[in-house]
Structures are given as C-alpha cells and as structure tokens.
A and B are shown apart, each in its own frame.
Chain A
Amino acid sequence: MEQHSGHALVHRDDEASKIGMWLFIFTELLLFGGLFVVYAVYRHLNPVAFHLAAEELDVTVGTINTVILLVSSMTIAMATSSIKLGNKRLTLLLLSITMILAIIFMVNKYFEWGGKISHGIYPNSQTLLDLSQGDVLFFGLYYAMTGLHALHIIVGLVIIAVMFFKVWNGSINNDYNVQLENSGLYWHLVDLIWIFLFPLFYLIT
C-alpha cells in the first residue's frame, strides 16, 4: 500500500480518531443514561400507570424493529471487515443493506407513531392530559426517548450514505478505513440504545 514512497508526510493517526469517536460515544451513553435514570425514577413513583400505559405499545412492531437493528449492526460490522480484506463490491452491498434496514426501521416508526397520534396520544393532547400524571410521563418519555433515538437513526443513515460514496470513489479503501470503522461504532451505539429502549418501553408491562 506504499505507493507514495516517503516524500509526502501525511499526518494520520487512526488510533486517535477512534479514541475521539469513543469519547463522543461516551457523551451519547451518558445523555441517554440520564434519560434512563429519569425513566427509572418515574416508573418507581408511578408503577401502576406505567404498567397500564406500556400495554398500549405494540410488542410485535418493537420486536421487528429490534431484529432490523441487530441485523443492520451485523451488516455494517461485516462491511468494516470486508473493506479491510479489500472487497469493495461486498462493502458497498453491505452498506446498502444497512441503509435499507435503517429506512425500514424508520417506516415502522412512522406507522407506530402515526397510530398513536391518530388515537390522540401525543404530547400535550387533550386525550393524554385527561389521563393520569403517570400516563403523561410515560408517553412523554416514550416520545422523547424513541424520538431522540430515531433522530440518531436519521443521522446514521446520512453518515452511512457518505461512507457508501467514499468507498465507491475509493477514498476509503483497504488501507485507510478508520472513518468507516467509526461510522460502524456510531451505528452500534444506536443499536445499543435500542437494546435498552425496547424492553423498557415495550416488554416490561
């Protein structure tokens, strides 16, 4: 991989850029961590309302979205391996699959939120305000946390699209691929957050 022998000294520190990415991931973990603390406290204070409100959520949709994110996490992880092995076509294919899965996740989210909103359950709606304080808190947290997570999916989609383009034009290749690796780390973070959101909102009733 040493075509440009010696003369151009390009400063490049893959390890440092990965540490930078991890530091960013830590801020994200603590951001969502803070929200999980809020959820835990309000659940502790309103156990009955949280129990009843959680039964409103569709476990099937939640499970499908979990499977989608887990598979997409694997495809982007495989993409970081295939680029290191120099398989550009496979990398592009795996990144495309990851993007398609992310879009399917968002489509599911759209219908899920749409269903809730058409039933009059959305922040500050009259239906919701007529319910108990615990219901208001549950759905407030539901919209805030899954909404923030969905925002991360959209950002991830843009990042993966940029990576796709860079792999395609060769600026990410089997020698230089830390950007793809960092994008993978970001996508796994999004997956990681969902791993906790799913049981806390959909499963525990």
Chain B
Amino acid sequence: MSQDEHKHVVSYKTYTIILINLLILTAISVAVTEIELGPLTVFMAVFLASVKSALVLIYFMHLKFDNAMYKIMVGLVLVVFVIVMVITFLDYNFR
C-alpha cells in the first residue's frame, strides 16, 4: 500500500477477511435457528444481523477509514431509528 497517497486504499486482503467473517456469521445465524431458544431466537437473529451490518458499515463502506463526520452522521441516524422503534412499542404496549 502506498503511504504517499492521501486517500486510503483498503487492501484486498482486508476485504477478503471481512467477507469470510460475514459468511461465518451467516452460517452461525442459520445454525442458531435450528436450536430452540424460545424468545431469544428473535434477539439472536437481530444481534447477529447487527454485527454483520456493523462489519459492512465499518469496512466495506469505509467508515473506519473516512472522516469522523460520517461516523457521527450514521450514529445519529441509528439513534433516530431506535427512538422511533422504542416510541412505537411503548405506544403498543401501554395503549
């Protein structure tokens, strides 16, 4: 990797490692549904999907290598989404 370049070029190796991790997580999430976890099933599925999407955001979408401003913007959007989700369920549970 050329250090003189200002733009950060992510190596093919990094991308390959991330893909392997994503595939392993996919295999785990498929395998986990075979086990009876009861109410934890949904939690596990969403948790594993969140880990996978974090890998995609951080490495494939370059959040790790880009300006910190992007991280803040993505963080804010996620916070907005969580707030909407929580408010909706508060409404449905205490109606």
Contact = CB atoms under 8 A, between A and B. Distances in A.
B92 A77 contact: no
Interface string A105-140: 000000000000000000000000000000000000
Contact of A196 (B12, B26, B41, B53): B53
B15 A26 contact: no
Q: Which of A77, A199, A204 has the most CB of B within 10 A?
A: A199
Contacts of A15: 67
Contacts of B74: 22
Contacts of A82: 12
A100 interface: no
Interface string A83-110: 0110000000000000000000000000
Nearest to A83: B9
Given A22-B70, A33-B81, A73-B60, A63 B30 contact: yes
Contact of A81 (B10, B46, B80, B88): B10
Nearest to B47: A199
Q: Is the interface of B mostly helix, strand, loop or mixed?
A: helix
Interface in B1-46: 5, 7, 9-12, 15-16, 18-19, 22-23, 26, 29-30, 33, 41-42, 45-46
A59 B29 CA distance: 11
Given A199-B29, A204-B41, A30 B81 contact: yes
A192 B59 CA distance: 12
Given A81-B11, A196-B53, A203-B30, A40 B45 contact: no
28 contacts: A18-B66, A18-B70, A19-B69, A22-B73, A22-B74, A33-B81, A34-B84, A44-B89, A45-B92, A63-B26, A63-B30, A66-B26, A73-B19, A73-B60, A74-B15, A74-B16, A77-B59, A81-B9, A81-B10, A81-B15, A84-B5, A188-B60, A188-B61, A192-B53, A195-B52, A200-B46, A204-B41, A204-B45
